[in-house]
Structure formats: C-alpha cells, structure tokens
Amino acid sequence: MSNTAGQVIRCKAAVAWEAGKPLVVEEVEVAPPQKMEVRLRILVTSLCHTDVYFWEAKGQTPLFPRIFGHEAGGIVESVGEGVTDLQPGDHVLPIFTGECKDCRHCKSEESNMCDLLRINTDRGAMLHDGRTRFSKNGQPIYHFLGTSTFSEYTVVHVGCVAKINPQAPLDKVCVLSCGISTGLGATLNVAKPTNGSTVAIFGLGAVGLAAAEGARISGASRIIGVDLNANRFNDARKFGVTEFVNPKDYDKPVQQVIAEMTDGGVDRSVECTGNASAMISAFECVHDGWGVAVLVGVPNKDDAFKTHPVNLLNERTLKGTFFGNYKPRSDIPGVVEKYMKKELELEKFITHEVPFSEINKAFDYMLRGESLRCIIRMEA
C-alpha cells in the first residue's frame, strides 16, 4: 500500500450531491493525509440513522456535496506528519468523535468529551487547514463527522482512529464505531446494573437493543423493553429483553405501569429515543433510594422536560451519556476484545448486507424500518 503514500488516490465514493437524493457512486480524488492525519482504506462500512438524518437535512444546515458514513472498518494506507502510534497496515475503526489525549477531558477518567475532537456535525473540512481531502474535477466534497466512510479511501484525524486486533473480523466489529457502543456503554459504564437487577430500556432500535445487551451481560434478572412499535418485541428477545410494554396499550403513564410491575420501580433505566416524554418516563420509573436513569437519545434542540424535584430528593439519579462514556482510542479496542472472547454478540445486530454499488438499498431498508444494521462491502 505504501506505493500510494504522498499521492492523490482516485477511488470510488458514494457522493450525496443533494439532500434526500440517492447517493451517486463515482470516482473522486482523495488527497494525502496532512499533519496528524491518516488515510484509511475502508473495507466495510455500515449505515447509522445519523447518516440518514443529515442526508435528509431536515433539522440542520445543509452541507452538500458530502460523503457520509461513520461506522466502518479499514486498514491504514498512509500516515501524515506527526503520527507515531499508527502505521500502514494497522487494522482500525474510524470514530465520529475523538481523543486527543492532551485536553482536560481526555486526561479525566470520568469524561470522553475531547475538547479538540468531540463530535461536530457542521464541520465539513479537516481541522489542520480547514480544507477538504475529497474533490472531484477540482470541486471540494465535504466530510461528515470527520470520518466519511462511504468512500474506498478516506482521511481522518489520528485522534479519531481506534487501532484494533488485526484478527477481529471488520465486517462484524465495524458496528462498534457508533450506535452499538453507545447503547452498550450507556448500560455497562453509566447505568451499571448489578447481577439480578431490573432494567427498563426505552426504545428498541439498534442503540436500545445494545443497551439491552449490556443489561444481559450484566446479569439483569428482568429487562423490560418499552416501545410504541410492537413489531420490535420478538426480535428484542434475542438481546435479553424479557418483558415488553407498549405505552399505547395503557390509559396511564408508562412509568406508573412499570412501577406497578416492579414493586415500586426498576433499578436502572436507559432512554434511547430522544423523546422528551420518554425521558420523563425513564426517570420517573426508577425506584426511589437507588434508581438510576440514563439518557442516551438526542432530543430536538428546543425540547425541555420537567419533573417534580421530590423525585430527585427521594434519591433517584438522572445521568446523561455520550458514546457510552467510551474513549475512542483507549476503550474501543477493549470492546472489540469482548467480542473476540465471545462475551459480546454482534452478529444479531447485522440484519442486511449489500455491495457498495447498491448502497442506496441500505437507506431504503432503514427508511422502511426493516434493518438494525446493514453492512456495505466496499469490494463487492
């Protein structure tokens, strides 16, 4: 791979030229990595709902043309100036948020919200010089979340790259780049249920099911899945969910339903929908004295919720989390090892697979609510 180092690479990428229009798979130019950057050869990528949300451009400033994609697995092709902990041939997962290892957040054992590299959905260029590494016929093509994995080659800041076990199958562990780690870590690192405890999961999409998987790994005795879509209940059993509640089936608040089911409330709850009323329910359904509720879902920018202060005074705890409190470079290699040791199951999250040439099918599956994760193979 080193014979391309320092040169512009021409390769295929799926370019979004307009909001909501099918991606176009075509040849683009990918410039060499600059200071503290690495160029990756992407072998597999997958589609996350965040890609779809920004492709639709319904709730934010549109930025096009753009190359989306942020869940992927690949191999380092070349490194830029100053990069010392990665080298060509390393197997890696690019991550939508980063770890510079120098700021207060990175030096804190409690935080993973790097000052330099935390998620920025508006940025379409590289930090080093404010320019893009993608172009077509001289026209810049914008980056997405610093990763842009819907391309055979991409350039990423070194702080957003997790070096992993080369034996790990990239077509499985690539899903750990975003949603699965977010849900899993929300339970394992933040809610921290104990063996035999009761856990409620609000929202049974991919992130919620990963949170349920975390509860299963923790040895929870009851995992209650809460969702408005009853079609999700059967599949959720594979992830350890033992009981289901559809709020539409009751004429009282779902937190009251759960409290009655569990003698006063669950020990832990994890909210994965981003819906403000679900956030209230997730907090108010935990038991007084020791209950902990964790918010994972991203709300609309104008959302707010209220709860009576007595709910806090009665020793319930409300927490938030970002990317499951995992530090990308330090922690994600260890999550990959959990999979390698068969402590974590990833295959059940992967419901579909398409070749890169048919990437728009992955969008169709997600828009129809048929997929958890669709693997997109670059070489197919």
How far is Cα of residue 51 from the mean position of the Cα atoms in its chain? 10
Would you call 71 a catalytic residue per the annotation?
yes
Would you call 285 a catalytic residue per the annotation?
no
Would you call 114 a catalytic residue per the annotation?
yes
The pairing of strands 24-30 and 134-136 is antiparallel
Would you call 157 a catalytic residue per the annotation?
no
Would you call 133 a catalytic residue per the annotation?
no
CB crowding 285-314: b at 16 or more within 10 Å, else e: bbbeeebbbbbbbeeeeeeeeeeeeebeee
Spot the catalytic one: 39, 66, 114, 273: 114
Would you call 174 a catalytic residue per the annotation?
no
Spot the catalytic one: 178, 272, 285, 374: 178
Spot the catalytic one: 147, 285, 373, 374: 373
Spot the catalytic one: 39, 100, 198, 216: 100
For the stretch 135-138, contacts whose Cβ atoms lie closer than 8 Å and that sit 24 or more positions apart, written own/partner, are: 135/28, 135/29, 135/31, 136/15, 136/26, 136/27, 136/28, 136/29, 136/65
Residue type, 294: V
Spot the catalytic one: 41, 45, 48, 284: 48
Q: Are 356 and 377 in contact (CB under 8 A)?
A: yes
Residue 66 DSSP label:
B
The two three-digit tokens of residue 195, written as one number: 């063996």
In the Cβ-directed half-sphere of 51, how many Cα atoms lie within 13 Å? 34
Would you call 321 a catalytic residue per the annotation?
no
Q: What's the rounded Cα separation, in Å, for the pair 287 and 181? A: 26
3-state secondary structure of 276: helix
Would you call 272 a catalytic residue per the annotation?
no
Q: Give the number of other Cβ atoms within 10 Å of residue 82's Cβ.
A: 11
Spot the catalytic one: 39, 66, 70, 232: 70
Cα torsion 85, 88, 92, 98: sign? positive
Q: What's the rounded Cα separation, in Å, for the pair 72 and 19? A: 22
Would you call 11 a catalytic residue per the annotation?
no
Spot the catalytic one: 11, 103, 128, 242: 103
Q: Spell out the residues 6+ positions from residue 308 whose beta carbon is closer than 8 angstroms to its own.
A: none
Q: What's the rounded Cα separation, in Å, for the pair 8 and 218? A: 48
Spot the catalytic one: 4, 49, 307, 377: 49
HEC profile of 160-223: HEEECCCCCCHHHHHHHHCHHHHHHHHHHHHHCCCCCCEEEEECCCHHHHHHHHHHHHHCCCEE
Spot the catalytic one: 45, 50, 154, 262: 50
Spot the catalytic one: 66, 106, 143, 352: 106
Would you call 329 a catalytic residue per the annotation?
no
Closest CA to 365 of 356, 374, 376: 374
Spot the catalytic one: 71, 152, 213, 271: 71
Active-site positions read 48-50, 70-71, 100, 103, 106, 114, 118, 178, 373
